[in-house]
């Protein structure tokens, strides 16, 4: 193969090399699906807390599944409170927001989440320091609905030092 043929061949293959290079960059830039799920779950949890503290019922509702299985539990000072079903959970939040209409101006620390992601659900556990209510162990079961992560189960256990 002479140098003219080689130059012609390299020139004609240049678009192929460029496409291969671009495709390799796109593939390496894509986020791992589990990492993306973890980021989306953290966002959903942060927003649920933010909307509740802001007393934005409609936005808060959007972070929860409305399926029949949803449940919310609180454990504090040896007492256990359980709310089952979306209508009960929603009414409880509405009652609380009506009784305490002023938004809470709290800066919550970002906790270290322990998150296990499955196909359409995830288990989340973390310790949440709360300047008003004290330190809490939080557990969430997240469910994926229409491409969004939502809370299906919430447990708050107030910790004593």
Give per-residue pLDDT as tens, 49-65: 999 999 999 999 999 99
Please indicate, yes or no, if residue 137 is contained in any of the structural domains.
yes
Top-confidence residue, 132 or 58:
58
DSSP, residue by residue, 103-123: PP---PPPP--EEEE-SSEEE
- Structurally, the chain folds into a number of domains equal to 1
pTM for the whole structure = 0.78
> Which residue has 């709310």 as its token pair?
83
Reported as a single tens digit per residue, the pLDDT across 86-110 is 999 999 999 999 999 999 987 778 8
Q: What is the pLDDT of residue 108?
A: 74
Please indicate, yes or no, if residue 28 is contained in any of the structural domains.
no
Residue 80 structural domain:
34-158
CATH, residue 66: 3.10.450.50
Reported as a single tens digit per residue, the pLDDT across 11-43 is 666 666 566 666 765 555 567 899 999 999 999
């Amino acid at each position: 193969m002479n140098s003219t043929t080689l130059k012609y061949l390299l020139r004609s293959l240049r678009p192929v090399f460029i496409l291969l290079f671009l495709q390799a960059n796109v593939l390496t830039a894509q986020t791992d699906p589990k990492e993306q799920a973890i980021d989306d779950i953290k966002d959903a949890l942060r927003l649920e807390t933010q909307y509740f503290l802001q007393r934005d019922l409609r936005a808060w509702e959007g972070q929860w599944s409305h399926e029949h299985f949803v449940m919310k539990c609180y454990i504090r000072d040896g007492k256990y409170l359980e709310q089952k079903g979306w209508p009960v959970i929603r009414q409880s939040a509405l009652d609380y927001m009506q009784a305490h209409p002023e938004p809470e101006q709290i800066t919550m620390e970002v906790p270290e989440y322990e998150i296990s992601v499955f196909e359409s659900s995830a288990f989340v556990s973390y310790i949440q320091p709360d300047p008003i209510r004290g330190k809490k162990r939080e557990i969430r079961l997240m469910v994926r609905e229409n491409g969004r992560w939502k809370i299906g189960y919430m447990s708050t256990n107030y910790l004593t030092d």
